[in-house]
Amino acid sequence: MTRACSDALVDVLVVGAGAAGMMAAIEAGRRGRRVRVVDHADRPGEKIRISGGGRCNFTNLGCGPANFLGENPRFATSALRRYTQHDFVKRIDGAGIAWHEKTQNGRSLGQLFCDDSAKQIVRMLTDDMAAAGVVLSLKTGVTRIERSGEGFTVILSDGSQVTAASLVVATGGKSIPKMGATGWAYEVARQFDIRVTETRPALVPLTFEAGLLETLTPLAGVAVDASVASAPEGAKARKASFNEAMLFTHRGLSGPAILQISSYWREGEAVVASMAPGRDVFEELKAAKASNGKQAVHTALGHIVPRRLAESLCQREAASGNLADLSDKVLRRLDQAVNAWAVKPVGTEGYRTAEVTLGGVDTAALDQQTMQAKAIPGLYFIGEAVDVTGWLGGYNFQWAWSSGWAAGQVC
């Protein structure tokens, strides 16, 4: 009975028990605020649990504002500086969670993962919430929000009512609706006349039209280390390139390099892939021709890119037979096909598989130190709900920790 009474009158109501919401709740609870967190899912931190293949890429050592997209990427600077990746690492260390940094071909990527399981992070956060006196109500949504005096009256899905001085919206974006993503934060923003920027799936595989797909289907499962660039006409802000793995799939292209570039790509535009970055394919084929002209061209190309890809490219460029029979013109065509492959996706796999939502609650309406809505004191938006979207590699969780921490200092 006492619990029910106190749950109905709190200082802070956080909606969303994801990375950002739990972080804000812990910080506010530690300040002595009476905090309640509601979430319509039956478990907290589900995206943390499934992320990074179950090991959660929880931050990136190189995290900074340059790793984020949004109408005003500088907005993230304050929170990222005040609660950094190193602060979160200290927290993980304090909880005794072992971690490692991912490397690729001996290169450190700055991406930190749990050695054991992402569940350890969820447990750390739920333990910290309990220790800070935060009340967590699962399987509980929100049906209505009303402004009441200085605070908010919130009607929950079970019909009960909560009055709170501060309302923290931490319900994430629209990606993976199967996991309960709703885009509800945008409805709350609109209710309070706060603009929401255009939202679209990001960190998502790109898809091809049927004709192109038919020619590329035999390559499904082939992976290459590639450099993939966006090719926007005139839109400087969307020029980007990423050097990471690229994967051919039954629907189009995926892999880290493609997920990264998907955040910059727009309908009608091409992406340009270099599938042997830094290698002069023409010179290498010419040298192979000089040393062993009897070698089949697809075999020679197969020493530069995976064999199946080499065969497909030779077929597409009508390059068959032995190297000795091929002119420089054909070898240059192969060079282009490998290192300047411009391809126009027709779309993305959408929110079904997107790791994040690009766009969200307009940062111009929020205070960058506290995440509080400038025009509505007591209302906060944090995490993925906000128009701050990170690259692949632990940046999105860092934004969730940093923005949640920032709100938690004042809400």
| Gap between the Cα atoms of 218 and 220, Å rounded | 6
**Shortest distance (Å) from residue 309 CB to ligand FDA:** 27
Contact segment (CB under 6 A) with ligand FDA among 161-169, 267-275, 344-352, 389-397 equals 389-397
DSSP 391: P
18 near ligand FDA (CB under 6 A)? yes
Q: Is 133 in the site for ligand FDA (CB under 6 A)?
A: no
Among 10, 14, 15, 222, binds ligand FDA (CB under 6 A): 15
Specify the stretch interacting with ligand FDA by CB under 6 A; choose among 234-242, 256-264, 324-332, 390-398: 390-398
Longest dimension (CA), the chain: 88
Helix, strand, coil tally for the chain in percent (to 5): 40, 25, 35
CB of 182 to ligand FDA, least distance (A): 4
170 binds ligand FDA (CB under 6 A): yes
CA distance 309 to 225: 12
How far apart CA 407 and CA 359 sit, in angstroms, is: 20
21 is a contact residue toward ligand FDA (CB under 6 A): yes
Q: Indicate the residue among 170 and 314 with the shorter CB distance to ligand FDA.
A: 170
Q: Do 186 and 196 form a contact (C-beta atoms < 8 A)? A: yes
Q: Which residue lies nearest ligand FDA, judged by its C-beta?
A: 18
The secondary structure of 303-322 as a DSSP string is TTS-HHHHHHHHHHTT--SB
Return the H-helix or E-strand segment holding 110. Answer: strand 107-114
Residue from the set 189, 313, 400, 411 that interacts with ligand FDA by CB under 6 A: 400
Q: Where does this chain touch ligand FDA (CB under 6 A) — which range of 4-12, 168-176, 332-340, 344-352?
A: 168-176
**Strand 142-148 with 9-15, pairing:** unpaired
Judge contact between 257 and 242, C-beta under 8 A. Answer: yes
* CB of residue 81 to ligand FDA, shortest distance in Å: 18
d(Cα 407, Cα 20) in Å, to the nearest integer?
Answer: 9
Q: Is 396 in the site for ligand FDA (CB under 6 A)?
A: yes
The nearer residue to ligand FDA, 38 or 310, going by C-beta atoms, is 38
Q: Which stretch binds ligand FDA (CB under 6 A): 258-266, 323-331, 333-341, 379-387?
A: 379-387
Positions in 28-67 near ligand FDA (CB under 6 A): 39-41, 46-47, 50-52, 56-57
Both tokens assigned to 352 = 């079904």
Residue choice 16, 70, 345, 378 for contact with ligand FDA (CB under 6 A): 16
Angstrom distance (rounded) from CA 27 to CA 7: 18
The CA–CA distances, whole Å, from 15 to 132, 169, 404 equal 17, 5, 12
The yes or no reply on residue 387 touching ligand FDA (CB under 6 A) is no
Matching residue, tokens 């679209």: 200
Binding site for ligand FDA (CB under 6 A): 15-21, 39-41, 46-47, 50-52, 56-57, 141-142, 170-172, 175-176, 180-182, 184, 355-356, 383-385, 394-397, 400
